[in-house]
Chain A
Amino acid sequence: MSNSKSPLRIFEGHQNFRLRIVLATLSGIPIKLEKIRSNDLNPGLKDYEVSFLRLIETVTNGSTIEISYTGTTLIYRPGIIYGGSYTHQCPNSKPVGYFIEPMLYLAPFSKKKFSLLFKGITASHKDAGIDVLKWGMLPVLEKFGVRECALHTLKRGSPPLGGGEVHLVVDSLIAQPITMHELETPIISSIRGVAYSTRVSPSLVNRMIDGAQKVLKDVGCTVNITADVWRGENSGKSPGWGITLLAEMKKNWCLFSECIGDAGDVPEDIGAKAAYHLLEEISRSTAIGRGQLPLAIVFMVIGKEDIGRLRINKNQIDENFIHLLRDIKKIFGTEVYLKPVNDPESDDFIATVKGVGFTNANKKIA
């Protein structure tokens, strides 16, 4: 709910655009974003950012968004998270993952259940693919008590023309996230994955699987990568292929990597690249990967007034992490305390944070 008494929190630049909007929505604090690409040849908000704002306006009730004439300044006054059933047509400049990812932060705290159908591109080099969101992000939500959450791929749509359809359903509406305590690095029990193709020869999929399995043959656990070949109407408008790998750990944690192929790429190399990325991610992560970290930290911050703890790897502390913590502090006023673990053989840290006691405005706590 919008807190009209709160002063505007002012941010500069377009960095962390979605997260800032999400944090403002969760906290109910209005924000002002200034100097959005003010020095660029094409200043102001991009089409996908405007599309994202439209989506936010759709799933909330009472939000107001003011954009300056040049698009370089934005004032966002959040309303309540309302949810409901909608269809969002994503622009082809960003995949559906760009829009779905922030919805995962908001959906559990809405008044009505979320049932959003996203249309557009389903894979890209920079943003989350649908398999990663489904197998990598939803388990993180589960850890915080959001259990009834599903992402259904109705159609795959490869870039540049897309044509995919993905249905996000969040039935679990919770009052508060559960406090997180994960002080260990769980053992990886298996590696699984999916290699997919749309409108290209299915042999590419098998070649990607071969490439990945060759790299992962020595890991000493089960490796199971399935082929997912899409044909006909459900395979979108453009040819494409890619692979997503998942390292499953004890306690239902998982790490992931994904790669998509472009024209001229060798399928075996794409499979091997995804496998290398997964190994690299494993070496740089604990229970949680770099892509999952912001979601976990934000849910820890908005949790009940209790101390949550999460073990993180030294390599996970990078520029993105610092920007995340600074934005959280600016909006919620809370800090994350980092303490090295009591183990001389480990460089890991324990991120400790006291929840701000956020409660879903639409839920009453007994």
Chain B
Amino acid sequence: LNVNINRKRKWDIGKLIYMENVSAEDCIKRWRNEDVDDEEGGDSDSDDSNEEDFFKKKDENSSKESNPKQTIDLEQFVPYFDTFEKLAAKWSSVDLIKNRFIRSAVERK
């Protein structure tokens, strides 16, 4: 599954981060393929300058629109979480992260 996800991803986040003409929100959207249709696969880190230029030009307009409405609060220390109900449903079992915990001494016995 991971291999498929990686194949679909077109953008290298390392490059996207430092593209000043793309807003931070757009960076994340592109990287997660939320606004890009890609059926052909292929690697993200294409060095084809024409392709990059194409997207850059397209971004200039979109980033101008998205920049003024920065809704995220960068000063907030506490990260954003889903609602209580969603979290309760997700974490009804801790199997997802079970491998992150050391087994208790009692359990080992």
Contact: B28 with A317, CB < 8 Å? yes
A339 at the interface (CB under 8 A from B): yes
Give A272 to B91 CA distance when docked, in angstroms: 10
B2 at the interface (CB under 8 A from A): yes
Contact: A344 with B3, CB < 8 Å? yes
Give A218 to B101 CA distance when docked, in angstroms: 10
When the two chains form the complex, which single residue of A97, A281, A283, A326 contacts B20, counting CB atoms closer than 8 Å?
A326
Contact: B74 with A323, CB < 8 Å? yes
Contact: B78 with A127, CB < 8 Å? yes
Q: What B residues does A7 contact at CB under 8 A?
A: none
B55 at the interface (CB under 8 A from A): no
Q: What A residues does B50 contact at CB under 8 A?
A: none
A258 at the interface (CB under 8 A from B): yes
Contact with B along A273-289 (1 / 0, CB 8 A): 10111011111000000
Contact: B24 with A322, CB < 8 Å? yes
Contact: A320 with B14, CB < 8 Å? no
When the two chains form the complex, which single residue of B2, B76, B78, B79 contacts A344, counting CB atoms closer than 8 Å?
B2
Contact: B84 with A221, CB < 8 Å? no
A222 at the interface (CB under 8 A from B): yes
When the two chains form the complex, which single residue of A125, A187, A276, A318 contacts B101, counting CB atoms closer than 8 Å?
A187
Give A161 to B24 CA distance when docked, in angstroms: 36
Please indicate which of the listed interface residues A220, A290, A337, A349 has the most CB atoms of chain B within 10 Å of its own CB: A220
Closest residue to A249 on the B side, CB-wise?
A: B100
Q: What are 27 A-B contacts with C-beta separation under 8 Å?
A: A15-B75, A98-B77, A101-B77, A125-B78, A126-B78, A185-B100, A187-B101, A188-B100, A188-B101, A215-B91, A218-B94, A219-B101, A258-B78, A272-B88, A273-B84, A279-B91, A280-B82, A280-B90, A280-B91, A281-B79, A319-B25, A319-B72, A320-B72, A326-B18, A338-B13, A344-B2, A347-B2
Q: Which residues of A are at the interface with B, using a C-beta cutoff of 8 A?
A: 13, 15-19, 39, 97-98, 101, 125-128, 132, 185, 187-190, 215, 218-222, 258, 269, 272-273, 275-277, 279-283, 290-291, 317-320, 322-323, 325-326, 329, 335-340, 344-347, 349
The 4 closest A-B pairs by CB, nearest first: A276-B87, A322-B24, A319-B24, A128-B77
7 additional A-B residue pairs with CB within 8 Å, beyond A221-B103, A319-B27 = A187-B101, A215-B91, A222-B104, A320-B72, A323-B74, A329-B18, A345-B2
